[in-house]
Structure 1
Amino acid sequence: MTPQLHDLVPAALRRAWAADGSYPDLDLYALFRARRMADPHRTAVIDTKGKLCYTQLDRKARSLAAGLRAAGVCAGDVVGVQLPSSRDAVIADLALAALGAIALPFPVGRGSREALSLLGRSGARAVIAATEHRGIEHARELAVMRGELPGLRAVVAAGPGEVPDGCLSLAELLRTDATDFTPDRPAPDSAARILVSSGTEAEPKMVAYSHNALAGGRGNFLASLLPSDTELRCLFLVPLASAFGSSGTAVTLARHGGTLVLLDRFAPADALEAIRRHRPTHVLGVPTMVRMMLDQPAEPLPELTALVLGGSPLDPSTREEAERVFGCPVVNLYGSADGVNCHTGLEAEPTPADGPGIAVGRPDPAVTDIRIATPGGEFGTTPGEIGEIVARGPMTPLCYVGAPELNQRYRTADGWVRTGDLGVFDADGGLCVVGRLKDIVIRGGANISPAEVEGELSSHPDVRDVLCTGVPDPLMGERLAACVVPRAGRTPALEELCAHLDARGLERRKHPERLLLVEALPLTPAGKPDRAALRQLAAEAG
């Protein structure tokens, strides 16, 4: 049974955002159909199979919607989607929106037990999964576990290969006659999509977003990076199934009528080739991906409007190098599935020379208002005072799904979201993110912020990428380890890195005591640096 999805933002605020234009106040499929009617032959999706225009995409989405309806999927049902970034994932998004169902995307590569947890806790009625992706038979695994999900009506297998026993075929559903199909018209403030956050909980958090919060709040974020004379073409290096990727179908297509350029998996050479061949206006990824691209042989690139980087801190040296190589503004995005967003914008903003944290721009009230909460719980601090970042605005999600304890912990009675991030406002109203409350390493009773140390180490000339993590220690409880990707031909030593930190003025108690050199930082299926994997590697290295 689908858990009740209550909106924890006061209804009067939602209606005020609709009245002032922050919301389009239409459901996602209606928005997409309006874009199709306005420009039916515009390219909607470019993937490894080629191109789909808006008319072709709409025809496929309506056929899938009709097929899913015949299979028992109804308005308000949650449907899991575990597909690589491709036309099938976009078709599924739009088909579910046309049904008035709620999409629950999660990246390929996630283990079957985690998928089982997501589908079970959300009360999913169906799931669309890849027949095979990089050696993992997602659809077959889910079909085998179907007995543990009594509410699951159907498993749909997508992609080449034999359809596993107990599964429906996506290819067959796409051939359904949709002549008599009538789309549902869900309320714009009702749930449209559940974003999955890796977070810091024992199980991934699930966060419900409305049509308005996606197309309006998240749509306003992308609109602020779109010059008025620009036709939007977005290359997504992150999976569409990630929280960052929710700016794909709902925002790029439905809200802005743009074009999606998709890679089914990230590889730096392939990403650069996609930029040269398809000439996107915006490239969306994480800093680690860009660092990997910067290490590729230099070749001329077409002009971009913006390189938009989120998911992990963006250090000044990477930003400066990327601006030079890609020849465009590099936007430092701070955001999460939990409902917070802030970015530096297309105009260059100097990073503060003094003070803690990484500058992420000024909050946009059309997306989210951001404040700093004191330890006592009061909102609003003086500039320079560090506290927990809290947010509320048009992008704010409805609630956490199947987790009332998270709603009690992270949501306030008047709709604010407690992010668990530490931040500070500078004197000009710019937000700086200092780190995570739960990422603190406690060494002998003293707190160390890994983000602070990472920011200083990233400026060392031998360091291409870095992530710091705590490793268990019988004497001190934890010690700090630096996991470093060296620049080509360099082999930094722990002593010289600590000397660099001395020169930067970082207290010696915060210096890393262990160094692990790696060829690349591992990424999670959602495209973020995998801190858990590095923590284990650092602990095993001793």
Structure 2
Amino acid sequence: MTAAAVTDLVPARLRAEWARRGDYPCDDLFALFSAHADAHPDRPAVIDDGGTLDYAGLRARALATAGGLAALGVRPGEVVCVQLPNGRDAVAAELAVAALGAVALPFPVGRRVRETEALVRGSGAVAAIAPARHRDRSPAAELAALRGTAPTLRHVVAVGPGPAPEGCVPADGLPPAPPGFAPARPDPDSCARILVSSGSEAQPKMIAYSHNALAGGRGNFVEALRRPGQDLRAMFLVPLGSAFGSSGTSVTLARHGGTLVLCGAFDADAAVRAVAEHRPSHVFAVPTMIRMMLDSPSARTADPGGVSAVVLGGAPLDPLTAAEARARFGCPVVNLYGSADGVNCHTGLDDPPDISGRPGIAAGRPNPRVADIRVVDEELRDVPAGAIGEIVSLGPMTPMCYVGAPELNARYRAAGGWVRTGDLGTLDEDGGLRVVGRLKDVVIRGGANISPAEVEQLLREHPDVRDTCCVGVPDPLMGERLAAHIVPRHGRVPDRAELEEFLRGKGVEPYKFPEYVLPAPAGGFPLTPAGKVDKQRLRERAVEVVGG
């Protein structure tokens, strides 16, 4: 696949209008980054497990990798996979692909072979950059073994430590750049990166984003979370290879010239200590991570001072978690509603806690410099204020299209470039968005639809429930029954009768009560490589337990 094979489903006149009004920087990602490196070469660019790397050092690493890839024959517009853990290697690799004018396809290092093969084949990737070793695996060797089924894949670059597996090029042994090599200057409206959906519910999707949509649209989202004149020092606990993590290299560095604070793998106790040591201005995480950090031993002594916003996305944020995080970090907690598919809305730094009691979760007011939002019926007509409908989105951050999946473009893209999210929500009279649930995340019990997100939100208000995840369990009589996995707050999991009494007191219809109550796995909920709760694994676990 080349950039020419990607069709932009957003009308060109809209892209031009967003550029005219200043929503886009109108430059490519590497040029934006390089301008910051020129302006402040000694500023820290990345703080990771290996220490601190400044802008000048990061640019040198990126250009060396870009030159090596060019010598291998990687050309502008071709796709390069980046499967690396959070750290300077991942950042340098993504910038190197941008310097080539190629298209980056980052995805978390935890992806397994089957999903990796689907991404490589579906994107037509010609090269990949991956670790020689990661825990008990060799992602580089796994990628090299795909050459038989992914014929476009020509090169696999193995990042140390450790020797490069057979058939791979060691990152420290890349050939020198060809004579006259210089960074490319691609069209800012051309494809820069393919975001990969989390895969928590189904096979991951690939979505093409332009330089402008990343640095501009997504960059405007991060800009709205900064106080005037504030330096951006962003800690990403989510993988940079996830959709949430795309606000790392492309936005924190290329757009804003800030500093990335990264941990190689998420560990709640280590994350708490890292916040205290590195003093980030912003922490980007999913709610499950923050709940684990609040419960970690270090949380009782580590000083989180200096954080100006905790930005939580990727899963519904319940009021109790938000309140505890506000108290612990001493700063606003931003609820981010967004996805790789092309939607973004979030609460503001000065928004009061949501105590309205209305259905759904408050997600702030849409920012037209990021994405306008409508709530529509099945015919894509706007519904009245306060009525529930499907959330659709269009704005400067809107992606170009799905990659290699025309059926997804037909299903999720509407006339004029609008993105159909498959999420249910309401817009209040004052324009505030509330997210109610998902059209596709529904448990159907005896013909009645149950929103797991609705039940989860209510159960987290129970005084003995720390966290919960609800999934459907197949049933020969009812079709499905609801199972609730519970992380207890005080060591004991409330039984089914207690939870039913609690939900009844909340006015919940009895058919929505969980029929199976299961303790969460030891160590907490399993996470997908993108850092979200892995509902598929919990669904399989529930089937095993209930069936046993």
TM-score of the aligned structures, taking structure 2 as reference length: 0.97
Q: What is the one-letter code of the residue matched to 1:529? A: V
Matched, 1:110 2:111: yes
> Aligned in 2, Cα 1:307/1:412: closer, same or farther, shift over 3 Å?
same
Q: Secondary structure at the match of 1:303?
A: coil
Q: What is the one-letter code of the residue matched to 1:163? A: A
Instruction: Give unmatched runs, 5+ long, in structure 2.
Output: none
Q: Secondary structure at the match of 1:182?
A: coil
Q: Deviations over 1:175-195 (max 9, x none)?
A: 836884311000000000000
Name the residue aligned to 1:240. Answer: 240
Q: What is the one-letter code of the residue matched to 2:150? A: L
Name the residue aligned to 1:271. Answer: 271
Q: Distance in 1 between matches of 2:180 and 2:73?
A: 17
Name the residue aligned to 1:124. Answer: 125
Q: Secondary structure at the match of 1:255?
A: coil
Name the residue aligned to 1:249. Answer: 249
Q: Secondary structure at the match of 1:238?
A: coil
Q: Distance in 2 between matches of 1:514 and 1:201?
A: 21
Q: Secondary structure at the match of 2:76?
A: coil
1:255-404 aligned at under 5 Å gives the runs 255-297=255-297, 298-299=300-301, 300-378=303-381, 380-404=382-406
Q: What is the one-letter code of the residue matched to 1:422? A: L
Q: Distance in 2 between matches of 1:323 and 1:413?
A: 41
Name the residue aligned to 1:540. Answer: 544
Q: Secondary structure at the match of 2:5?
A: coil
Q: Distance in 1 between matches of 2:504 and 2:329?
A: 33
> Aligned in 2, Cα 1:20/1:368: closer, same or farther, shift over 3 Å?
same
Conserved? CA contact 2:71–2:176, under 8 Å: no
Conserved? CA contact 1:24–1:216, under 8 Å: yes
Conserved? CA contact 2:71–2:178, under 8 Å: no
Q: 2:471 aligns with which of 466, 469, 472?
A: 469
Q: Secondary structure at the match of 1:490?
A: coil
Once the two structures are TM-superposed, the CA of residue 72 in structure 1 deviates from its matched residue by 0.8
Name the residue aligned to 1:191. Answer: 191
Q: Distance in 1 between matches of 2:512 and 2:431?
A: 28
Name the residue aligned to 2:434. Answer: 432
Q: Deviations over 1:272-291 (max 9, x none)?
A: 11111110000000000000
Conserved? CA contact 1:22–1:216, under 8 Å: yes
Q: Deviations over 1:242-264 (max 9, x none)?
A: 00000000000000000001111
Conserved? CA contact 1:333–1:343, under 8 Å: yes
Conserved? CA contact 2:198–2:242, under 8 Å: no
Name the residue aligned to 1:447. Answer: 449
Once the two structures are TM-superposed, the CA of residue 383 in structure 1 deviates from its matched residue by 1.5
Once the two structures are TM-superposed, the CA of residue 493 in structure 1 deviates from its matched residue by 1.1
Q: Distance in 1 between matches of 2:539 and 2:195?
A: 25
Q: Distance in 1 between matches of 2:225 and 2:294?
A: 23
Q: Which moved more, 1:299-308 or 1:321-330?
A: 299-308
Identity of aligned residues (%): 61
RMSD over equivalenced CA pairs, Å: 1.3
Q: Distance in 2 between matches of 1:179 and 1:427?
A: 61
Q: Distance in 1 between matches of 2:119 and 2:470?
A: 29
Conserved? CA contact 1:63–1:178, under 8 Å: no
Once the two structures are TM-superposed, the CA of residue 117 in structure 1 deviates from its matched residue by 0.8
TM-score of the aligned structures, taking structure 1 as reference length: 0.98
Q: What is the one-letter code of the residue matched to 2:8? A: D
Q: What is the one-letter code of the residue matched to 2:295? A: D
Q: What is the one-letter code of the residue matched to 2:305? A: P
Q: Distance in 2 between matches of 1:351 and 1:93?
A: 38
Q: Secondary structure at the match of 1:483?
A: strand
Q: Distance in 2 between matches of 1:426 and 1:452?
A: 19
Matched, 1:54 2:55: yes
Q: Secondary structure at the match of 2:500?
A: helix
Q: Deviations over 1:453-492 (max 9, x none)?
A: 1111010011111111110111100011111111142331
Conserved? CA contact 2:205–2:402, under 8 Å: yes
1:483-522 aligned at under 5 Å gives the runs 483-518=485-520, 519=522, 520-522=524-526
Conserved? CA contact 2:70–2:178, under 8 Å: no
Q: Distance in 2 between matches of 1:137 and 1:199?
A: 21
Q: Distance in 1 between matches of 2:267 and 2:353?
A: 31
User: For this pair of structures, how many residues does the alignment match?
Assistant: 540
Q: Distance in 1 between matches of 2:71 and 2:474?
A: 54
